[in-house]
């Protein structure tokens, strides 16, 4: 899973180029297309997370113009900050209108991460509604920057501060808590940047403590009001409506993200006098595809066109770029994708900065641009736009982000255009800015972020940084923390995967759910028929006759009746694809009903895959698909109801009683049986590809069942060693070998299951960026402790002293072997199952040592094929070979007599 990012705060950070957190050169890709990692991934994960957290805040080093206002609130005198900028104190200022309702206070202590005492150490605290009024020029555009340092001021608790800020009639902050925001971002201070055009010659800035919280107060440490050229004087094309545009210039705007794509940090002093700070884009890259970065090294002279002012973006943004790489075949199999946390129910303008540094002819590099799975631009050709090499150009696109579960992210993706048949199948981007526009009610405020850390979507995000590399270490991906808090969610289960449109989802069932598409939505679909009403692809005609015969088709009326017309009180899970309801069919049978959002076109491929796979699979430890509905442009799946939800719900962050060690072992054994059946029991090997604790469900009798087969794929044939495919799965659980090579085997499931085993033992998420860097990745930390002999010290406190030492040893050894870097070194799932059943026997035995010598399947140094592979067939009798020497103890009856399943 990923973790979702917090509610966004503008990209400012107390990081300078000299301390940019890179412990070695940043990830790069050579001109030959070979990928490299700058460091072990656990360090990279930490760096990505630190960057992701820090990238929102920072200082401005540009000297203000003569009519700029820099106000140090609560200060009685003028002073300069660490960059030499002069700030005026507001104690005797004509700008403070209602000083009777406020008091100046000094912070109790100075956080070492503060870039300067000015303007952070003094604050103006408001007990009642109060205002500043600044002289401005009506009709001229200004930056408005607000500085917050949530500290203790005269004994006031920073967590009691909730307030609203209204600028020139537009609510820019509402119920804002600087303390919560700073905590969620792991920052000492916050800076918010807005851009507005005052309607009069006075800009009124109103601070109002919240009535919803007793003892609440408002505060501010610093205010900047800086005149700028109107950089939003051209309309933006509305995505999905190519004939419509959005008048950006008439809006009040919040800067959400500003990235120097393919380059490094650009301080405000190098930004054309507009005092903007640009940040590295790598923490926001999604998935295994990191692309390649390059620069002109000042060999090519950047030439701004006459129609484009140089202040649109500094020259250093156009000197660097990120492309997909030199291999066209690889490029056609993935998207260059970034993901960003945003607030729902707002219009966003995404500004793309381009400058072709390598090519000089039209139709050499042509690509498509997607925003939130919608086609923003077909056939983007930078040379055709700019007219020449090294000439910058920018394009603005507007996209509306809905307010709903899973809709709080903005995806940006580039993919080579096959239709244009360019000379090189590649894409390029130099810079990216994302702006939020006020809504029709005059509101620009979003919610406070959730303070519980975790990404990079999480259950992260997020976001994210992923990398391919030749590392002996664990190559794992992170999301855009997917983040810092609640959930990258995201549970996702069904995503667009039509011709050249594929997904890299993170899904959950029985919790939150969602699907993250890697490719954008095309204007045409070659594999599915479309409804003339909504454009949603219909699927019935694309299901096999066997699937249709084995899987019940429900009418939409039956589904509505079973869910009481989709009563919200019956929702048991929500995600970007839609909602999961508890329902009743046939007069009393409880079921789980997963419904796609009617306005979504996501999930067609996974909807079909789930039906095709599960209709043919029947096993006690696999969630049963009862049926589906595809009427009225709906995509609905009906499953057995799992009364106790997901395994994760019983491990941590829950009010439920902790599971006993025996219960946990039995659940792991059940899940292993289900996976073993997928790998060996069907006609063809089936690889799940998304094994995690949220995809292991538990029924009312605590029987574990593997769920969510939307990503499942048929494994290699007898004459193949692997299946080459685009990387899909969930961060923290992803097989590093599959990640690096894009070669899938059933051992990828084994690796993911190893993470699950340690998650069960330690009762903590697979990724937790709130922990010290060496502990962020559960897999890395557990392996480190296991090899150091200190694993017992970090297990779930509820289990300490309750696990038989021999049982713990066998369980930990099994998990460790599953997490081997090389798939060939991992045991087959049959051996994993064998050892888990043996561990259970050890737990219940008073003489584990005797059992140890008599029975368990010990891992060989190289067990590429399983010694317990079954010749199981769907719906038929089963045989197991190579068991003559096995202990016939009852604990192994499931392996020896498959009828027992």
Active site residues: 690
- Residue 105's contacts (CB-CB under 8 Å, 6 or more residues apart) are 74, 122, 123, 125, 153, 154, 156
SS3 371: strand
Yes or no: say if 640 and 591 are a contact pair by the CB < 8 Å rule.
yes
Question: If 0-12 CB within 10 Å is exposed, 13-18 middle and 19+ buried, where does residue 243 land?
Answer: exposed
The number of angstroms, rounded, from the C-alpha of 242 to the middle of its chain's C-alpha atoms is 29
Name, in order, each residue with C-beta under 8 angstroms of 599's C-beta and a sequence gap of 6 or more: 534
Largest Cα separation within the chain, whole Å, is 93
How many Å from the N-terminal Cα to the C-terminal Cα in the chain? 30
**Token pair for 207:** 């601070």
3-state SS, one letter per residue, for 615-650: HHCCCCCECCEEEEECCCCCCEEEEECCCCCECHHH
DSSP code of residue 26: P
Dihedral in degrees, nearest 10, Cα atoms 209, 213, 215, 218: -20
Per-position b or e across 481-518, b if 16+ CB within 10 A of its CB: bbbbbbbbbbbbbbbbbbebbbbbbbbbbbbbbbbbbb
- Give residues with Cβ within 8 angstroms of 25, minimum separation 6: 38
What whole-number distance in Å separates Cα of residue 578 and Cα of residue 585?
20
Closest by CA to 485, choosing from 509, 515, 513, 462, is 462
How far is residue 275 CA from its own chain's centroid?
30
Contact 593, 638 (CB under 8 A): yes
Cβ atoms within 10 A of the Cβ of 138, count?
A: 11
- The distance of Cα 229 from the centroid of its chain, to the nearest Å, equals 35
Contact 642, 695 (CB under 8 A): no
Residue 713, burial from CB neighbour count under 10 angstroms (0-12, 13-18, 19+): middle
CA distance 538 to 532: 11
Report the relative pairing of strands 86-89 and 69-72 from DSSP bridges. parallel
Does residue 17 sit in helix, strand or coil?
A: helix
> Distance (Å, rounded) from C-alpha 543 to C-alpha 663?
38
| Nearest partner of 872 among 664, 685, 702, 606, judged by Cα | 685
Using only C-alpha atoms, the chain has a radius of gyration, in whole angstroms, of 28
Angle at which helices 778-788 and 805-818 cross, to 10°: 130
């Amino acid at each position: 899973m990923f973790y979702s990012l917090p509610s966004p705060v503008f990209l400012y950070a107390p990081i300078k180029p000299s301390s940019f957190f890179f412990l070695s050169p940043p990830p790069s890709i050579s001109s030959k297309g070979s990928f490299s990692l700058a460091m072990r991934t656990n360090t990279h994960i930490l760096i990505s997370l630190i960057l992701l957290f820090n990238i929102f805040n920072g200082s401005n080093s540009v000297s203000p113009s003569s009519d700029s206002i820099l106000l140090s609130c609560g200060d009685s005198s003028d002073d300069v900050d660490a960059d030499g900028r002069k700030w005026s104190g507001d104690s005797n200022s004509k700008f403070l209108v209602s000083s009777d309702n406020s008091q100046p206070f000094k912070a109790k202590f100075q956080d070492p991460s503060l870039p300067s005492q000015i303007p952070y150490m003094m604050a103006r605290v408001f007990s009642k509604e109060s205002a500043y009024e600044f002289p401005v020029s009506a009709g001229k555009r200004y930056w408005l920057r607000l500085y917050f340092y949530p500290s203790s001021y005269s004994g006031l608790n920073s967590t009691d501060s909730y307030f609203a800020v209204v600028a020139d009639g537009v609510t820019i902050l509402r119920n804002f808590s600087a303390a919560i925001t700073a905590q969620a971002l792991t920052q000492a201070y916050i800076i918010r940047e807005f851009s507005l055009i005052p309607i009069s010659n006075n800009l009124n800035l109103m601070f109002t403590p919240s009535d919803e919280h007793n003892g609440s107060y408002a505060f501010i440490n610093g205010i900047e009001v800086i005149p700028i050229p109107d950089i939003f004087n051209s309309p933006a094309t509305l995505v999905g409506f190519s004939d419509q545009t959005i008048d950006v210039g008439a809006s009040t705007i919040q800067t959400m993200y500003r990235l120097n794509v393919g380059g490094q940090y650009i301080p405000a002093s190098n930004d054309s006098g507009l005092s903007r700070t640009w940040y590295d884009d790598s923490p926001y890259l999604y998935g295994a595809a990191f692309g390649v970065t390059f620069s002109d090294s000042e060999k090519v002279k950047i030439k701004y066109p006459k129609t484009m002012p140089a202040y649109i973006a500094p020259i250093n943004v156009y000197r660097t770029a990120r492309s997909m790489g030199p291999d066209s075949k690889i490029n056609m199999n993935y998207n260059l994708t970034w993901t960003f946390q945003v607030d729902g129910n707002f219009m966003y303008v995404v500004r793309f900065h381009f400058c072709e540094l390598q090519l000089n002819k039209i139709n050499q590099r042509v690509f498509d641009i997607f925003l939130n799975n919608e086609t923003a631009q077909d056939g983007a050709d930078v040379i055709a736009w700019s007219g020449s090499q090294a000439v910058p150009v920018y394009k603005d696109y507007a996209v509306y982000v809905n307010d709903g579960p899973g809709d709080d992210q903005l995806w940006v993706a580039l993919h080579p255009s096959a239709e244009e048949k360019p000379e090189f199948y590649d894409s390029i981007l130099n810079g990216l800015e994302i702006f939020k526009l006020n809504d029709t009610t005059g509101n620009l405020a979003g919610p406070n972020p959730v303070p519980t850390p975790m990404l990079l979507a999480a259950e992260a995000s997020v976001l994210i940084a992923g990398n391919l590399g030749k590392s002996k270490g664990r190559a794992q991906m992170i999301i855009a923390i997917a983040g810092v808090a609640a959930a990258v969610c995201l549970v996702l289960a069904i995503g667009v995967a039509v011709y050249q449109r594929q997904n890299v989802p993170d899904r959950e069932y029985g919790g939150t759910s969602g699907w993250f598409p890697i490719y954008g939505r095309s204007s045409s679909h070659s594999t599915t028929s479309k409804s003339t009403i909504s454009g949603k692809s219909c699927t019935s005609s694309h299901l096999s006759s066997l699937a249709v015969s084995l899987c019940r088709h429900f009418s939409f009326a039956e589904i509505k009746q079973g869910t009481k017309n989709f009563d919200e009180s019956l929702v048991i899970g929500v995600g970007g694809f839609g909602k999961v309801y508890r329902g009743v069919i046939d007069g009393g049978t409880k079921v789980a009903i997963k419904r796609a959002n009617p306005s979504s076109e996501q999930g067609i491929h996974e909807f079909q895959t789930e039906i095709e796979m599960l209709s043919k699979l029947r096993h006690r430890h696999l969630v049963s698909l009862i049926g589906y509905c595809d009427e009225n442009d709906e995509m609905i799946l009906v499953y057995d109801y799992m009364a106790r939800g997901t395994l994760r719900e019983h491990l941590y962050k829950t009010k439920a009683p902790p599971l006993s060690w025996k219960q946990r072992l039995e659940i792991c054994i059940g899940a292993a049986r289900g996976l073993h059946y997928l790998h060996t029991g069907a006609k063809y090997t089936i690889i799940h590809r998304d094994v995690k604790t949220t995809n292991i469900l538990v029924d009312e009798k605590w029987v574990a069942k593997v769920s969510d087969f939307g990503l499942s794929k048929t494994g290699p044939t007898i004459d193949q060693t692997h299946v080459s495919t685009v990387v899909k799965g969930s961060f923290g659980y992803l097989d590093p070998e599959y990640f690096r090579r894009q070669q899938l085997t059933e051992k990828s499931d084994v690796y993911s299951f190893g993470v699950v085993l340690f998650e069960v033992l330690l009762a903590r998420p697979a990724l937790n960026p709130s922990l010290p860097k060496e502990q962020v990745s559960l897999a890395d930390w557990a392996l480190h402790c296991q090899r150091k002999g200190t694993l017992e010290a970090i297990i779930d406190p509820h289990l300490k002293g309750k696990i038989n030492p021999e049982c713990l040893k066998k369980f930990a050894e099994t998990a460790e072997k599953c997490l081997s870097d090389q798939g060939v070194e991992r045991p087959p799932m049959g051996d994993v199952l064998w050892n888990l059943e043996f561990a259970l026997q050890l737990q219940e035995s008073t003489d584990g040592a005797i059992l140890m010598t008599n029975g368990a399947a010990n891992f060989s140094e190289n067990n590429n094929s399983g010694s317990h592979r079954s010749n199981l067939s769907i719906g038929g009798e089963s045989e197991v070979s190579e068991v003559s020497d096995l202990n016939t103890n009852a604990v192994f009856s499931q392996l020896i007599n498959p009828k027992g399943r």
